[in-house]
Each structure stands twice: as C-alpha cells, then as structure tokens.
Structure 1
C-alpha cells in the first residue's frame, strides 16, 4: 500500500492562485502603471534615489538643496534627485529599471506557475521543469547584474550635461545574494534534470 501524499489538489489550486495573483500585481504595479506614467496618462515617476559625491543638506528651506535644470538634489550621501517636470525621455529613464526588473520577475512567476501546474499530476520531476528552473536561475542572474547596471546607466544619462553631474558619481552596487540565489536555482534545476533522467531509466527497466 503506497504512502498517501501530503500534497492535495486543493494545495495545488491555492499555490496556482497565489502565483497568479502575484503575477497580476506585478503586471499592474510594476509594468502597467509605470508605463502609463511614462506616456503621461497618470502621474509619472519623478524621483530617483542616488549616491552623492559630497554631502548635501536635507532641505528645510529653498537654499538647502542643490537645484538646476529642472532638478533638485536633496539629502546627504543617499539623496533624492527630484524632477519638477520630467519630459518623455526623463520619464522613460526614471521608469526603465523598474520596468525591466518587473518584466524579468513576470517571467519568473510565469515559469513558477507552469511548474505549479505539474503538481496536479503528483510529479514535478519532469524534463520541462528542469528547463524552467534553468531559465529562472539565468533570469535571476541577469537581474543581479542588469538591475544595478541599468540603474547606474540611466542615472548617468539623466544628469549628464547638467549641474548635477559633479554631485552624482557613476556607481553601481552589486550584491552577492542574488548571484548566490541564481546558482542555487541552477543547481536545483540540475537535480530536477537528473531526477527526471533517473525516473525515465527506471521506467525503461520495468
């Protein structure tokens, strides 16, 4: 008599619903609303947090912040670069890192949702899931590198040729946590691949 699985079809449905809801929220708040802000249909993003070369004062009066070219830089070390009336190009540069990050997250969620659907059959060790995990791992790795780089490049483009350029150095902060996570997911994908191959070999012996 086989052991009864602790995972039920109801659990699968709940997991799929949670992933579907997460996908919807990321699509609306991470992609749709920023895109509408870029084209001017809703209030756009107008602020970018930056690292400053020299400490500026937290604004209390009009003279407490560095201003120019329609921009205001206020804060110390971690400062806010605020655009009074960003044009289309500035709106796009401000929203681009979030848009790209959200699109990559949507790809990950879509792949996880496809994996969750395989739980209905009671077996996740299938070749397709191994490939999906590999794509997820590579996507996380791309985001770990592309996210900070894109943030630094777009910030440089926003302040290039303005009085803010001397205040805001080109810098990108990379964190090892996402790189480690990416390699862990890639390793898990290899486990799934070998599990699927072992199962196929075992079934061939029966």
Structure 2
C-alpha cells in the first residue's frame, strides 16, 4: 500500500497482520509446544483420551486395567497412566495438523506483509498460495490417516481391540479449501502476468 492510501486501509493491513501473528502464536503454543512438553517435558499430558468408533455389539463400558472404552457408536478410549509411546501416539494426529496450520499462518503472514506496498499480484504470493493449498490438502488427508494408524497401535493387544473400529474419514472441508486456494493462486498468477505486461507497455 502506498503512503497516500487512506489511513483506515493501512490500519486494516496492520490489524490483519496482528490477527495472523496472534493466530500463529496461539496455535504454536497450545497445539504444538504444550502437547510436546506434555509428552517429553515437565507438563502433564494434554490428553489421555481418543474418540473412536465402536462396533454396535460392543458394551457401553469395557475396562482392561490400562484402558477403558466408554460409550457406543462414538466412544471415548481412555488410557490410565499412559506411557511415553502412548502419549506420543495420542497427540500425533493433532500435532501433525497443528504444524501444518502453523505453516499456513506463517505463509499468510508473509503474504499480508506484501499488501503494504499495494502490490497484491507478486510472484511470491502465487507460490505462497500454492504452499497453503498443499498444506490444506495434507491437513485433510494425513491427520485422518494418522488417526487410524495410531488408534490401531494404541488398542493392539488390549481387550477393547475387537470393539474399536477405525474407518478413514478424509476432511472434505480442508480438501475443498485446497481447491479454492489453488484457484486463488491461479488468479494471482494471471494478475501478476497482466501487471508485467502493463509495465512492459509503459
């Protein structure tokens, strides 16, 4: 944005950067740093429960000493005093999604900083939008796959193993967001080319 831009336009740009920076900080702390410290560090585990699907014939509560399965349909798989491996498996799907979300916030912040010069259609923004699209696609596919894998590992060898079902459910919202972001990247690429053509005529 140029210096002649209205003050409220410049203020909106700074507010956007602050909001993205705050989102980056909060996600980084509460979804990445604290869960990791709960596994390897001084903090208590962030979670000892995994929501799972169970067979229709499964009892409403099944306990095996180290793990309890409560509910039917969508049930809570509760671990009592989980070890290091179990704690890591419990946070892995959410941690992976959070790291990808941190990448998205960071790239959005870099993109927002280019708005100060009033030049939206720069080649870097096209590439950044493609990075965001890729991260959204990974969020929609990788954490659900990790949820299936880690749930199978968590219940393996326990009495609740036969009751737990682990269907794969891709996040359609994240995949749809990936498609929209890729379309926006194509629009930015076209805008950048038009800008270059216009500059060549001057």
TM-score bracket, normalised by the shorter chain, equals: over 0.9
Residue in structure 1 matched with residue 154 of structure 2 by the alignment: 158
Which residue is 2:196 aligned to?
200
1:52 is aligned to 2:48: no
Deviations 1:177-200 (A, max 9, x none): 221111110010011011101101
Q: 1:84 aligns with which of 80, 85, 99?
A: 80
Over 3 Å counting, the alpha-carbon distance change for 1:30 and 1:73 in structure 2 is same
**Unaligned stretches of 5+ residues in structure 1:** 59-64
Report the 3-state secondary structure (helix = DSSP H, G, I; strand = E; otherwise coil) of the residue aligned with 1:172: coil
Give structure 2 stretches of 5+ with no counterpart. Answer: none
Deviations 1:156-192 (A, max 9, x none): 1101121111011231112322211111100100110
* 1:130-172 CA distance string (max 9 Å, x none): 0000110011011111121111111011011211110112311
Given the alignment, which residue of 116, 121, 124 partners 2:120? 124
Could you state the TM-score of these two structures normalised by the residue count of structure 2? 0.93
C-alpha distance in 2, partners of 1:5/1:133?
27
Deviations 1:38-96 (A, max 9, x none): 115222120000000135555xxxxxx20115000001110000001100000000011
Secondary structure of the structure 2 residue equivalent to 1:50: strand
Residue 19 (structure 1) aligned with residue 10 (structure 2): no
Q: Which whole-Å CA distance do the structure 2 matches of 1:128 and 1:23 have between them?
A: 20
Match of 1:141 in 2: 137
TM-score (norm 1): 0.91
Question: Pick from 102, 107, 112: which aligns with 1:106?
Answer: 102
